[in-house]
């Protein structure tokens, strides 16, 4: 990894994850992200966006009517499970999930093709297991050749909406909590 200011590199918590990733290069004819998206990808993104927007409403309902809030949480879980089933169908059209390092600020991954430093691309991500589809603009900050002929690519997200950043943060926190729970269980099992 090229040398960067350590403070800048550690502004966000990073996780190792597996995501379905597609790189959409920008071109003069088709700016990054202007290609039509599969309807299922857009639908899953909207479902997660609506879930995010409704969270504060659910907390308010819970303050005055716990039974209704519990019922709505069950309905929300049902919708989430349907979304996960649909995400499996979406993954058939996506590339296989690959290992990445993900943060709210960017993503690094290994690619068969080099990308130019400073190049602007659109990253089409499907975060697993919930099947959250995100289309994120990013700038390549490094592209380093590896010994096996592939490239270590690091990108920085650009101009994310608050909702996109919050969805990324929630995914990262959920993944971190799962890793901690699994580590605790393995310690207790020893």
Domain spans of the chain, in order of start:
13-26+38-189
Per the model's pLDDT, the better-predicted residue between 40 and 99 turns out to be 99
Q: For the segment 49-64, what is each residue's pLDDT rounded down to a tens digit?
A: 888 788 889 999 999 9
Confidence of residue 26 (pLDDT cuts 50, 70, 90): confident
Confidence of residue 132 (pLDDT cuts 50, 70, 90): confident
Say if residues 154 and 142 touch (Cβ distance below 8 Å).
yes
* Mean of pLDDT values over 158-176: 89
Residue 153, token pair as written in the block: 């690519």
Of 23-37, 69-83, 110-124, the range with the lowest mean pLDDT is: 23-37
Task: Note the Cα 162 to chain centre separation in Å.
Answer: 14
| Number of residues that make up the chain | 190
Residue with more model confidence, 7 or 129: 129
Mean pLDDT of the chain: 83
Q: Is the pLDDT of residue 32 over 50?
A: no
CATH hierarchy code of domain 13-26+38-189: 2.40.10.220
Other C-beta atoms closer than 10 Å to the C-beta of 186 total 9
Contact call for residues 135 and 42 (beta carbons, < 8 A): no
Best CA proximity match to 140, nearest among 125, 159, 121, 126? 121
* Residue 129 CB contacts under 8 Å (≥ 6 apart), including other chains: 84, 87
State the Cα–Cα distance between residues 45 and 50, nearest whole angstrom. 9
Question: What's the token pair of residue 102?
Answer: 């993900």
**Rounded distance between C-alpha atoms, residue 91 and residue 112, angstroms:** 20
CA distance 103 to 28: 29
Within 8 A by CB and 6+ apart from 93, the residues are: 38
Query: In the structure, what pLDDT confidence band is assigned to residue 84 with cuts at 50, 70 and 90?
Result: confident
Which residue from 109, 104, 119, 83 is spatially nearest to 157, judged by alpha carbons? Answer: 104
pLDDT band for position 136 (50/70/90)?
Answer: very high
């Amino acid at each position: 990894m090229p040398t960067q200011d350590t403070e800048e590199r550690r502004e966000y918590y990073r996780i190792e994850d597996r995501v379905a990733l597609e790189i959409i290069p920008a071109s003069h004819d088709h700016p990054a992200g202007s290609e039509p998206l599969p309807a299922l990808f857009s639908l899953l993104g909207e479902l997660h966006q609506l879930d995010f927007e409704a969270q504060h409403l659910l907390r308010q309902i819970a303050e005055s009517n716990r039974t209704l809030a519990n019922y709505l949480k069950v309905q929300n879980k049902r919708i989430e499970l349907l979304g996960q089933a649909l995400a499996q169908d979406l993954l058939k059209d996506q590339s296989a999930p690959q290992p990445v390092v993900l943060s709210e600020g960017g993503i690094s991954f290994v690619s068969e093709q080099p990308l130019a430093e400073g190049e602007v691309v659109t990253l089409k991500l499907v975060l697993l297991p919930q099947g959250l589809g995100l289309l994120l603009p990013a700038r390549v900050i490094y592209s380093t050749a590896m010994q096996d002929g592939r490239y270590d690519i690091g990108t920085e997200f650009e101009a994310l909406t608050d909702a996109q950043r919050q969805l990324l943060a929630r995914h990262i926190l959920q993944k971190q909590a799962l890793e901690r729970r699994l580590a605790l269980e393995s310690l207790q099992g020893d």
